[in-house]
Homo-oligomer: A and B are copies of this chain.
Amino acid sequence: MSKRPVTVIDIAHAAGVSKSTVSLVLRNSTLVNETTRAKVNETIRELGYVYNRNAAKLRGGGSEVIGIVVNDLTNSFFAELAVGMDMVTQSAGFVQFLANTGESLDRQREVIASMREHGMAGLILSPARGTTAADLKPLVAAGIPVVVVVRAVPGAKVSTLISDSEGGTREAVAHLLEQGHRRIAFLGGFADTAVFAERVRGYRAALESAGIAVSDGWIFDSAPSRAGGITAATAALAHADHFTAAICFNDAVAFGACDGLRAHKREPGLDFAVIGFDDVIEAKSAVPALSTVSIDPQGMGRRAAQMLLKQINAGQAEAETIISAARLVLRDSSGGRIATPKEAAA
């Protein structure tokens, strides 16, 4: 043996595992299975490695960072997602750095480049609008584990965690149809995103299976925010078809729709039914409590982090795609009687 100190890399080579797996074992992470852990610990003893966390820091190795890049931090969905991720990454001994792109591709490139420079162990990305597989290729080529969440990036060889947008929306609209609604608007969301297309597909499918032809004029796109929801609801209320219900792109839009309805003397949950999508914390306590398609933002964050740690632990970026279930949660905002067209026009 040479005189130089034994490194994590030496142990990884000798044990036939990745450097990250060795790090996880050194941190007593529960993410490493027993067989691997035993093998790594045996190698550590054989080579006489002494783990010194402070020394590791002084050598410039630093604590391991997981990068979280989201597209809109002002939407509380993303804050909740990040908090869920943090629960998992923290207990595994990582530090989480969060960056907000505000839907800018340039910004996204910049923050990812910076996180790479700082040696991140892995990246969880809710991609900005217009992100393509080419944007993620350098990361994949460098062997950096990546999990894409919320919005899939077609063709990218990265793990993906999205929710069942189409199924969830279909179920919500089917519920509104059962309640007797026939004129149901789709409110909010950027029309150029895949998530929007999927949710509109679920909306159309439910209405068409009830024999209702959907006009493009029933779909009111807007920014996926509270302000966007006010705009979309205001436009919908001015429409000749006198809607009695709306399915919203997300909860932020649904809250805005409720604001917009009230501003026009319509009471959500009493004379207009509103359903959101996401189930942010606020949905439960809002008045009226928001009916929504729940994808459990914190749970989704935890799951994304688990997918990433699994990849980091495996030491190679094996892509998997998980479409998590969406569950209709009925609260007060979707209640209320159905106005006749004459009443609705009043």
A60 to B118, CA, bound (A): 9
A226 to B100, CA, bound (A): 24
Return A102 CB to nearest CB of chain B, in Å: 7
B63–A74 touching, CB < 8 Å: no
Binary per-residue interface labels of chain A (101-138) against chain B in the complex, 1 for a CB within 8 Å, 0 otherwise: 01000010011011101110000000000000000000
Q: How many copies does the complex hold?
A: 2
Q: With a CB–CB cut-off of 8 A, which chain B residues contact A73? A: 79, 82-83, 98
Q: With a CB–CB cut-off of 8 A, which chain B residues contact A65? A: 114, 118
Q: A95 interface residue, CB < 8 Å from B?
A: yes
Q: With a CB–CB cut-off of 8 A, which chain B residues contact A74? A: 76, 79-80, 83, 281
Main secondary structure of the interface of A (DSSP, over half): helix
- CB-CB nearest in chain B for A280: B74
Q: With a CB–CB cut-off of 8 A, which chain B residues contact A259? A: 285-287
Q: A340 interface residue, CB < 8 Å from B?
A: no
A76 to B75, CA, bound (A): 8
A247 to B8, CA, bound (A): 57
A residues 270-326 touching B (CB-CB < 8 Å): 281-282, 285-287
Q: A263 interface residue, CB < 8 Å from B?
A: yes
Closest 6 CB pairs of A and B: A62-B117, A97-B97, A95-B114, A98-B98, A262-B287, A63-B114
A230-B285, A258-B287 known, 19 other contacts, Cβ within 8 Å = A62-B118, A63-B113, A63-B114, A73-B79, A74-B76, A74-B79, A79-B79, A83-B102, A90-B107, A95-B99, A95-B114, A97-B97, A97-B99, A97-B114, A226-B285, A227-B285, A256-B285, A259-B286, A262-B287
